[in-house]
Amino acid sequence: MAETITIVGGGLAGLTLGIGLRQRGVPVTVWEAGRYPRHRVCGEFISGRGQASLARLGLKDSLNEAGVACATSAALFYGKRMVASRPLPEAALCVSRFVLDGHLAQEFRRRGGELRVGTRWTGAYGEGVVRAAGRRVEPAADGWRWFGLKVHARGIALAADLEMHFRPSAYVGLCRLPGGEVNICGLFRSATTVPDLARCWRGWLRGPPGSALYERFSGAQLDEDSFCSVAGLGLRPRRATEHREWCVGDALTMIPPMTGNGMSMAFESAEIALGPLVRFSRGELGWAQAQQESARASDQEFTSRLRCAAWLQRAMFLPAVRPALLFMAARSARFWRGMFERTR
């Protein structure tokens, strides 16, 4: 009889891991504090190796049916100007988190997983328990308070499947979703606490009058029910072997959101954990040994990507460096492709 695995957190990492374990006959319980379907702060842009993880887990086709748009082009803006327009080196998927999380939850249940929604895990992270509980809250990082906002909208004409808008203390990405919707998601930093975000979020997302992003909002119909926010983002990369608990997804480490690779890492880290967890569950491997095996494989896969993403995000928020990077992205297809590939 296989040992039951408990997964804390029914986000992308927890549900993907749960589905993979169920496919291999392992009994699994996922504890999720929230409910489905729900909106999440996310650029909703899946790029990189996580797409292959989804395919290997047999989830890509059903996800396509649930509603995914394919993105092949990007445009970069600074203030009023479009500074670069480029094909994506590899096609990405754009999918609403409202659809994606709900779909994975349904799939997990369909495969016989036990999903306890609206239930917060307060127990220890000992043997048999995997932490997939998302990012660890950090009030400030590098002296800044980082927060994210997202809303869906209609009536916005985009210059590319993904628009990336930069300004001194913000990055806002717009991507095309199926059915004519556009996801607007921003990463912001502030030296002080921002009071009353629930009231002033539109101004943060839209930016100053005269910018290309401000113009995008003219005539847009915002789906206010889809608005959500998140604060306390810590952007320091962490190594999996630093953790004493078995972690997957953002609980393991958070890749700077600007690179649009966090969802991919959630799928990939779940896939990496599968083999060792199955062997633990069958009694073939001890917990500590299985956890170390998974952590070492995660570090091998993610360390250089995380380093490059942290460098890129820091540089894009440095006024002295950002223009040079945008210039290089506009002028050099090689530089653009290199940055894309190294952060994935």
Under the rule (CB under 6 A), what is the footprint of ligand FAD? 8-14, 31-34, 40-46, 120-121, 132-134, 148, 185, 187, 230, 233, 249-251, 257, 260-264, 266
Closer Cβ to ligand FAD, 73 or 282, answer by number:
73
Which CB atom, from 84 or from 92, has the smaller least distance to ligand FAD? 92
Min. distance of Cβ 119 from ligand FAD in angstroms?
Answer: 7
Supply the minimum distance, in Å, between the C-beta of residue 41 and ligand FAD.
5
Residue 215 CB, shortest distance to ligand FAD, in Å, is: 22
Contacts (Cβ under 8 Å, ≥6 apart) of 290: 246, 276, 277, 279, 280
Query: 129 with 6: CB under 8 angstroms?
Result: yes
Q: What are the residues facing 187 on neighbouring strands?
A: 148, 171
Nearer to ligand FAD, 42 or 326 (CB): 42
Q: What minimum distance in Å lies between the beta carbon of 269 and ligand FAD?
A: 8
| DSSP structure string for 47-75 | -STHHHHHHHTT-HHHHHHHH-EEEEEEE
Any idea of the CA torsion for 269, 66, 43, 175, to the nearest 10 degrees? 140
Shortest distance, position 111 Cβ to ligand FAD, whole Å? 18
Q: Which is nearer to ligand FAD, 188 or 280 (CB)?
A: 188
Contact 331, 313 (CB under 8 A): no
Q: Which residue's C-beta sits nearest to ligand FAD? A: 11
In the bound state with ligand FAD, the residue whose beta carbon lies nearer, of 41 and 273, is: 41
**Distance separating alpha carbons of residues 160 and 336, to the nearest angstrom:** 16
